[in-house]
Structure 1
Amino acid sequence: MTALTLIRHNAHQIDVDGHAMMMHVPSSSLFELDGVGRDVYDLFNRFDSVDSEVMRTELGARHSPDSLAECISSFIDLDILREPGIVEAPRVIAKVDEIPLSTIVLNVNTGCNLSCTYCYKEDLTTPSKGVKMSFETAKASFEMLLKQAKNRDQVNLVFFGGEPLSNYPLIREMVPYAEARAAQEGKKIDFSLTTNGTLLTEPMVDWLNEHRFGLTVSMDGPKAMHDANRITVGGNGTYDVVAHKVRMLLSRYTARAVGVRVTLTRGVTDVLGIHHHLKNELGFAEVGFGPATSGPIASFNLDNDALKQVFSDMKTLGRRYVDAACRGENIGFSNMHQLLTDIAQGTKKVVPCGAGLGLLAVDKDGDLHLCHRFVGSDQPTYGNVGRGIDVPKLAAFIEGAQDRSSFGCKTCRIRSICAGGCYHESYAKQGDPFAPVYHYCDLLRDWVDFGIESYVRIMKNNPSFFRNHIEPRSAKV
Structure 2
Amino acid sequence: MNPIYKTFSTLSGFYVYDRSTNSIINIERNEFDLLNKNDNQTIIQFKKKGYMKDNSIERIRHLSTDYLKHYLHNNIEQLTIQLTQNCNLRCSYCPYMGGYDNRKYSNKIISIETIRKGIDFLFAHSQNSKQIAIGFYGGEPLLEMPLLKEAVEYIEEVKEGREVVLTLTTNGTLLTDDNVEFFMKKSFQILISLDGAKEYHNANRVFPNGEGSFDVIMKKLRHIKEKYPTFFSKLTINSVISTNNDLSCSNDFFNADEVLEQLVVNMTTLSEHNSKDSILYDDSFKIINDFETCKAYLYMIGKISQRHVSKLYKSSIGQVNSIYKTLEPHEIKEKETHPGGPCLPGVSRLFMDVDGNFYPCERVSESSEIMRIGHIDSGIDIVKAKYLLNVGAITEQECINCFAFNFCKACCSSADGNTELSREKKLANCNNIKYSALTDMKLITMLKKFNYNFEESAYEEK
Give the TM bin, normalised by the shorter chain.
0.7 to 0.9
> Which of 301, 314, 325 is 1:345 aligned to?
325
Mapping 1:175-186, distance limit 5 Å: 175-179=152-156, 181-182=158-159, 184=160
> Is residue 366 from structure 1 mapped to residue 356 from structure 2 by the alignment?
yes
> Is residue 156 from structure 1 mapped to residue 167 from structure 2 by the alignment?
no
The one-letter code of the counterpart of 1:336 is S
On the 8 A contact 1:367/1:383 being kept in 2, the answer is: yes
Tell me which moved more, 343-352 or 108-117: 343-352
| CA distance 1:26–1:203, shift in 2 (3 Å) | farther
Using the alignment, how far apart are the partners of 1:354 and 1:249 within structure 2?
A: 38
| CA distance 1:442–1:166, shift in 2 (3 Å) | same
Post-superposition offset of 1:90: 2.5
Mapping 1:68-87, distance limit 5 Å: 72-76=48-52, 79=53, 82=54
For 1:388, the equivalent position in structure 2 comes to 379
Post-superposition offset of 1:101: 1.7
Indicate the structure with greater helix content. 1
The one-letter code of the counterpart of 1:359 is R
Tell me which moved more, 360-369 or 201-210: 201-210
On the 8 A contact 2:345/2:385 being kept in 1, the answer is: no
Over 6 Å off, 4+ runs: 428-431
Post-superposition offset of 1:42: 2.2
Post-superposition offset of 1:40: 8.3
For 1:211, the equivalent position in structure 2 comes to 186
The one-letter code of the counterpart of 1:403 is A
Query: Please, what TM-score do these two structures have when normalized by structure 2?
Result: 0.78
Using the alignment, how far apart are the partners of 2:291 and 2:418 within structure 1?
A: 27
Using the alignment, how far apart are the partners of 1:308 and 1:449 within structure 2?
A: 22
For 1:272, the equivalent position in structure 2 comes to 248
Mapping 1:296-311, distance limit 5 Å: 298=277, 301-303=278-280, 306=281, 310-311=285-286
On the 8 A contact 2:352/2:359 being kept in 1, the answer is: yes
How many percent identity over aligned positions?
Answer: 18
> Is residue 131 from structure 1 mapped to residue 108 from structure 2 by the alignment?
yes
**Alignment partner of 1:168: what SS?**
helix
> Is residue 398 from structure 1 mapped to residue 389 from structure 2 by the alignment?
yes
Using the alignment, how far apart are the partners of 2:351 and 2:205 within structure 1?
A: 24
For 2:40, the equivalent position in structure 1 comes to 50
For 1:61, the equivalent position in structure 2 comes to none
**Alignment partner of 1:350: what SS?**
coil
Post-superposition offset of 1:335: 5.6
For 2:59, the equivalent position in structure 1 comes to 90
| CA distance 1:387–1:432, shift in 2 (3 Å) | closer
Using the alignment, how far apart are the partners of 2:176 and 2:20 within structure 1?
A: 49
Using the alignment, how far apart are the partners of 2:39 and 2:445 within structure 1?
A: 31
The one-letter code of the counterpart of 1:391 is I
| CA distance 1:40–1:443, shift in 2 (3 Å) | same
Post-superposition offset of 1:370: 2.5
**Alignment partner of 1:109: what SS?**
coil
| CA distance 1:47–1:351, shift in 2 (3 Å) | closer
**Alignment partner of 1:231: what SS?**
coil
Tell me which moved more, 278-287 or 187-196: 278-287
For 1:288, the equivalent position in structure 2 comes to 267
| CA distance 1:464–1:110, shift in 2 (3 Å) | same
Structure 1 alignment gaps of length 5 or more: 56-67, 470-477
On the 8 A contact 2:242/2:270 being kept in 1, the answer is: yes
> Which of 299, 303, 318 is 1:324 aligned to?
299
On the 8 A contact 2:119/2:155 being kept in 1, the answer is: yes
- State the aligned residue count: 426
**Alignment partner of 2:69: what SS?**
coil
Using the alignment, how far apart are the partners of 1:343 and 1:90 within structure 2?
A: 26
| CA distance 1:165–1:279, shift in 2 (3 Å) | farther
> Is residue 260 from structure 1 mapped to residue 267 from structure 2 by the alignment?
no
| CA distance 1:74–1:296, shift in 2 (3 Å) | closer
Using the alignment, how far apart are the partners of 1:141 and 1:335 within structure 2?
A: 33
Post-superposition offset of 1:104: 0.8
On the 8 A contact 1:6/1:48 being kept in 2, the answer is: no
**Alignment partner of 2:174: what SS?**
coil
On the 8 A contact 2:368/2:419 being kept in 1, the answer is: no
On the 8 A contact 1:361/1:375 being kept in 2, the answer is: no
On the 8 A contact 2:394/2:423 being kept in 1, the answer is: yes
Using the alignment, how far apart are the partners of 1:414 and 1:223 within structure 2?
A: 41
On the 8 A contact 1:427/1:435 being kept in 2, the answer is: no
